[in-house]
Amino acid sequence: MALSYPFSITKRKDSPYFYVRFKNETTGKYIPWKSTGQTDKQKAIKTALQWFTNGKKKSETVEKIETLSFRDTVRKADITPQEMDFILEQWKNKGLLKTYVVTGSRKDINAYDFMLTFWTWEKSEYIAEKLRKNHGIGKRHVSKQYSNIKNHWYDIVKNKTLSEITKQDINRFMKKLAEKNLSHGAKNDIVRAGTTALKWAFNNDLIDRDITAGLVFFSGHYKERQILTPEIVQALFSVPWNDERCKLANMLAMCTGLRAGEIQGLRLQDLGKDCLYIRHSWNLQDGLKCTKNRENRIAEMPFPMISQALKDLAETNPYGAGMNGYVFYASIPDKPMESKTFLHELRQALLKMGMTKETAKGYTFHAWRHFFTAYMADRVNNKVLQQQTGHKTTAMLEHYAGHRIDGEREGLRLAQVETFGDVINTSPVIIFNTQKIMNYVRG
């Protein structure tokens, strides 16, 4: 009985050697002839069997069979996205792929659209997660980062999926950003708008690599805000102000170091006998919200004149809000004055003193926080000062306290009451009445 082999073997007229060809079991077709290198038929059959059964000469023969079989399978197979994802994942595990994206899969996401959604308050899974876990995040910050994506990231990610973005792309982006006339803090905010989204995408299995790891951000010295000298401050609060509510807000910031939003968020219930209970902050996007560091604190207020003026102002609130009424209320209910009004009136008062418009523009309302911290830093320990100002870290406190005042250092050693008391005590008494406030509100 003739033996049947899984191949065909024959001798060609123009060669002394026997040739073999194997059949592709998937397609039913034969692959090209291959010389066995044998002139004896039995030895040629033995060689062919060895190739077929033991994989010898695999790179030349058996591998060719397997390769053709696999290629034909891929060409003809009806593969689902889920099956393709499995196959590609196996190749990735073998080191044959670094990353991949299957069309229509969860990872098939346009990077620019993803980043915009990431910083959209109503749609973002990231924001929802933050709120669910009671982490601090505000609408103003989200709005700012949305603008950073829209204004700066489009060119780098416009036509790419998340997985196509590389660390080299980010480095090129930062190189281009470095040429812009922006502070290093502003540049870092722009970079973080994108890298925060990419980091979250990696942590949630939307991309396979954390391309933000090891990224070096911009560095440099913060541009120091100008702060006034005690002599100028004393003169500032001695001149008539157009709106004495703004005078009170500026004076309060000077002697307590409170942020503008914390002053806006003050309500009648927050006014203690000789202190202020800092429970909230305010901004236009978020409205009344928790403090910047999500921690309540007590700010000391050793100046009876200011404490009384705050209560007098709060009690003129015409909206019937009671203890919930804002101290610095606006012309409409349930809303405080805008902080830009505090700044506008500060600069107007500086002009009345004889300061030039260009010089006055160099001062911001937030500079009062620097003023307070700079003059108090050498007089009290960091722990006590942090409790007053609400600085989260000593490093940030030292940044604020890093200003050096012109003149003798003895001025830095004055106690809080000695430093600010002279300014407050020599300032004209602030007296509020309903008609006076209504004139401010309407006018």
Give the model's confidence band at 70: pLDDT under 50 very low, under 70 low, under 90 confident, else very high: low
Q: What residues form DSSP beta bridges with 282?
A: 288
Q: Give pLDDT tens digits for 254-295.
A: 988 899 999 999 999 999 988 889 899 998 888 898 887 777
Terminal-residue alpha carbon distance, the chain = 116
Give the model's confidence band at 246: pLDDT under 50 very low, under 70 low, under 90 confident, else very high: very high
pLDDT of 43 > 60? The answer is yes
Q: Give pLDDT tens digits for 340-374.
A: 999 999 999 999 999 999 999 989 999 898 888 88
* Least confident range of 100-109, 130-139, 321-330: 100-109
Mean pLDDT for the stretch of residues 229-243: 90
pLDDT value, residue 301: 82
Average confidence score pLDDT of the chain:
79
pLDDT of 419 > 80? The answer is no
Name the CATH superfamily housing domain 230-442: Intergrase catalytic core (1.10.443.10)
pLDDT of 181 > 80? The answer is yes
pLDDT of 80 > 80? The answer is no
% of the chain with per-residue pLDDT over 90: 35
What HEC string does the chain produce?
CCCCCCEEEEECCCCCCEEEEEECCCCCCECCCEECCCCCHHHHHHHHHHHHHHCCCCCCCHHHHHHHHHHHHHHHCCCCHHHHHHHHHHHHHCCCCCCCCCCCCCCCCEHHHHHHHHCCCCCCHHHHHHHHCCCCCCHHHHHHHHHHHHHHHHHHHCCCEHHHCCHHHHHHHHHHHHCCCCCHHHHHHHHHHHHHHHHHHHHCCCCCCCCCCCCCCCCCCCCCCCCCCHHHHHHHCCCCCCCHHHHHHHHHHHHHCCCHHHHHCCEHHHECCCEEEECCEEECCCEEECCCCCCCEEEECCCHHHHHHHHHHHHCCCCCCHHHCECCECCCCCCECCHHHHHHHHHHHHHHCCCCHHHHCCCCCCHHHHHHHHHHCCCCCHHHHHHHHCCCCHHHHHHHHCCCCCCCHHHHHCCHHHHHHHHHHHCCCCCCCHHHHHHHHHC
Query: Residues 261, 263, 268, 273: is their CA dihedral positive or negative?
Result: positive
Give the model's confidence band at 398: pLDDT under 50 very low, under 70 low, under 90 confident, else very high: very low
Mean pLDDT for the stretch of residues 230-244: 90
Q: Which residue has the tokens 């919200």?
A: 289
pLDDT value, residue 434: 56
pLDDT value, residue 266: 96
Sequence-distant (≥ 6) Cβ neighbours of residue 29 within 8 angstroms: 23
**How far is it, in rounded angstroms, from Cα 35 to Cα 270?**
96
Please report, for the chain, the start and end positions of each structural domain, with discontinuous segments joined by +.
7-77, 111-203, 230-442
pLDDT of 413 > 90? The answer is no
pLDDT of 100 > 70? The answer is no
Most confident of 6-20, 348-362, 379-393, 407-421: 348-362
